[in-house]
Chains A and B, each alone.
Chain A
Amino acid sequence: MTRRATIWGLVAAACLAGPAGAAERVVIGSKGFTEGIILGEILAATVRHAGGEPVHRKALGGTQIVFQALERGEIDCYVEYTGTLAAEILRDDAAAAPEQLGAALAARGIAAGAELGFDNTYGLAMKRALAERLGIRTIGDLVARADEPAIAALEFAFSDEFVRRADGWPAVRAAYGLRQTPRVVDHALAYKGIDAGSIQVTDLYATDPEPRLHDLVLLEDDRRAFREYRALILTRADLHERAPAVAAALAELAGTIDGPTMAGMNAAVRVDKQGEAEVATAFLRERVGWDVAPVAADGFRRLVHDILRATGQHLLLVLVSLAAAVVVGVPAGILAERHPAAGRWILGAAGIIQTIPSMAVLVFMVPLLGLGWRPAALALFLYSLLPIVRGTATGLASIPGHLREAALALGLTPWERLRLVELPMASRSILAGIKTAAVINVGTATIGGLIGAGGYGEAILSGIRLADAARLMEGAIPAALLAIGLERGFDRLERWLVPAGLRTAGR
């Protein structure tokens, strides 16, 4: 058999084996909070149960980023809330009704799938004992008996987001005519305050585990002031053609998760520190009757593997963005020093870029560049510009005038003066700018965890989300070591790159 025949044989075999052997790859997205990730794991386990090959791009970020990823086909499905869809995506309150929702989403190539069965709306909560003693069951009770001293003395304290969002405190205050002035406190601190008795009424999500933990009771929203946030599965419109078995299995999840079940799963992760994947498979086994094997997790080897993978991803982000910033920033610095008028614009622009929050850069860039390392690297590139441009411009500007003239009088061309005299003399300052950018990048690259670029950010963000110090350290310690290592590396590089005469002169 000739070599060509062998190759054709292999190609033919691959074509025949391909469709039959390969499980359909289904990419699942999730939003960056515990409930979103648990639901993502439930979808992933469901895909596996239906014979598909799930890829879970965890904790991708906020609504905009995840929804756009679905719109662009970078993910195939995720769980969204009806109220959020209406308010943040469709910007139409009427659209929360199932028929309108389906039509509006279909126009975007997205199918509204099964509703899971719970409504994660906002709620107002009080200590159970206090509510029972005062005889308060509904929000309406607070208004009807507002004149009683015991009721008037109740302190309200809400999270900043709840106070600002139109569908939060403003909605409930208008619907009931509440006259209290709430204090704004951090959500986690509000629970401490309510335990200590310094506040009595706070806001929460209906499926938060805290009511059980702190023995709170949710006040009934008797006037339906809060919007509905029914959880539903969104999929690409073509998923049922591409993977009919997966689509059918996802449909079977309809109505399987009621409010208390969801709150229980949130508590299992947030309070009992169980893994999201284990909670998800346990749910499917006990409530749906599917025995989906959890993905094997072998403690130490898994940890080493995860850290190595994150290191690779993190380094890719830092080095790619840094290299691009050097290529752009050094010439920009030269230009800025040569032409002071242009320099003011260049340094001004680099400075303004520095003030843009990384989340905002991602929200702008994900629609253009998609998910993954590209938008994160672009954000890091932008943040790296200022120190590099400034280091270059400052280094060049600090060259004494008589030495510039000496180079000119020697008969060197402009390019030779730049390359042989000015850049070497500015090398310390340029390298210092690059070093600063590199070290800052190691820290900032944690944003990669928000958009599926990986890196140490994944561990750090999930550590913060779950208040899990060990998980946080899994990202924070390697990140710190990498920053130190890079700094050392740059010191080496400086010894090698910066001419000896400048190093002795600089002392």
Chain B
Amino acid sequence: MIVVSDVSKSFAGQRVLAPTNLEVPRGRTTVLIGPSGCGKSTLLRIIVGLITPDSGGVTIDGAPMTAATALELRRRIGYVIQDGGLFPHLSGRDNVTLLARRLGRDPDWIRRRVEELADLVRLPQAALDRPPAALSGGQRQRLGIMRALALDPPVVLLDEPLGALDPLVRYDLQEDLRRIFRELAKTVVLVTHDMGEAGFFGDEIVLLGGGTIVQRGTLDALIHSPADDSVRRFILAHRLPGMTAGDHR
């Protein structure tokens, strides 16, 4: 379980996140969504400790995220960014196994783990030993997911992981990811700006706007009982099939 308590953040005097509270239940997928600049990525980066909040704090399974605990906690969090965030100087395999090797895991265990993960994300073996530049966008993102899952972390955080992929590749990856998260019962926070993707993944959807949580609930609740006009407009902007501006008037 991830608990965010009274977390706020300003950059250069500009408020990005008002004091915010959020619990992410264990084994469930929570999607952060909202327009650009709403604070959703900032919130995710605060959870993984890349940004220190001005106030409040984050605990992960009861352990507070501080400068002293960050290293240990991050090893229990899988973090996935757009295009996989692979290191260009390492092969796919070396990207996936980097931390495990640093932590001195048994080489046989590492080899087996890579095979398992490649099966799990449906990555062809041949792609493992190529440098990232020689792979397709979808393959890079599958490797990024493998790297995040390498040490079987209980928590997985994803920052717009599929944003740069073409629709068909994205569709396949969405299916695979949801299957993986459910099979492995991971605690997941996923940031996206795509309502369809949010509805597909989210046990709960958290809609942010102007640095605060505007509404949280299921996709249905957001569509049929929007908290305010801004939620309504955000949903309309996605031009979901069968919806027009008149539906909620």
Contacts and interface: CB of A to CB of B under 8 A. Distances in A.
B85 A504 contact: no
B249 interface: no
A305 interface: no
B89 A499 contact: yes
A402 B89 contact: no
A425 interface: yes
Contact of A501 (B45, B82, B132): B132
B43 to A, nearest CB: 15
B134 A504 contact: yes
B48 A504 contact: no
B102 interface: yes
Interface in B50-101: 50, 71-72, 74-75, 77, 79, 81-82, 85-91, 98-99
Interface-centre pick from B50, B85, B86, B147 (highest chain A CB count, 10 A): B85
Contacts of B98: 410, 412, 420
A409 B88 contact: no
Interface string B11-43: 000000000000000000000000000000000
B81 A406 contact: yes
Contacts of B48: 409
Interface string A119-163: 000000000000000000000000000000000000000000000
Contact of B133 (A403, A410, A505): A505
Contacts of B131: 499-501, 504-505
B90 A405 contact: no
B90 A501 contact: yes
Interface in A488-503: 498-502
B74 A409 contact: yes
Contact of B88 (A411, A420, A502): A502
A410 B147 contact: yes
Contacts of B86: 406
Contacts of A427: 89
A416 interface: yes
A91 to B, nearest CB: 60
Contact of B50 (A409, A424, A425, A502): A409
Contacts of A403: 85, 87-88
Contacts of B91: 501
Interface residues of A, number: 24
Contacts of B82: 402
A405 B132 CA distance: 17
A504 B132 CA distance: 10
B134 A407 contact: no
A410 B82 CA distance: 15
Contacts of A425: 87-89
B55 to A, nearest CB: 22
A67 B46 CA distance: 68
Interface string A377-403: 000000000000000000000000011
B51 to A, nearest CB: 10
Contacts of B49: 409
Contacts of A500: 131
Interface in A454-507: 498-502, 504-505
Contact of B85 (A406, A424, A501): A406
A501 B140 CA distance: 13
Contacts of A416: 102
A405 B147 CA distance: 14
A353 interface: no
A409 B77 contact: yes
B99 A411 contact: yes
Nearest to B74: A411
A196 to B, nearest CB: 65
Nearest to B77: A409
B144 to A, nearest CB: 9
A445 B182 CA distance: 67
Nearest to A408: B50
Given A410-B79, A501-B132, A405 B88 contact: no
A406 B79 contact: yes
A412 to B, nearest CB: 7
Contact of A421 (B71, B79, B87): B87
A2 interface: no
Contacts of B75: 411
A6 interface: no
A355 interface: no
A290 B87 CA distance: 77
B189 to A, nearest CB: 13
Nearest to B76: A411
Contacts of B102: 412, 416, 420
A499 B87 CA distance: 11
A402 B74 contact: no
Contacts of B50: 405, 408-409
Contacts of A402: 81-82, 85
Given A413-B71, A425-B88, A405 B81 contact: yes
A403 B50 CA distance: 12
A427 B48 CA distance: 29
Nearest to B73: A411
Interface string B164-184: 000000000000000000000
A501 B81 contact: no
Nearest to B82: A402
Nearest to B89: A499
B88 A501 contact: yes
A297 B156 CA distance: 80
Given A405-B50, A409-B50, A501-B132, A424 B99 contact: no
20 contacts: A402-B81, A406-B81, A407-B87, A409-B48, A409-B50, A409-B77, A410-B74, A411-B99, A420-B102, A425-B87, A498-B89, A499-B88, A499-B131, A501-B89, A501-B131, A501-B132, A502-B89, A504-B134, A505-B131, A505-B132
Which 8 residue pairs spanning A and B have beta carbons closest together? A501-B131, A499-B89, A406-B85, A411-B75, A411-B74, A409-B79, A505-B133, A424-B89
Given A405-B81, A408-B74, A504-B133, 12 more contacts: A405-B45, A410-B99, A411-B71, A411-B99, A412-B102, A424-B89, A425-B87, A498-B89, A501-B91, A501-B131, A505-B131, A505-B133
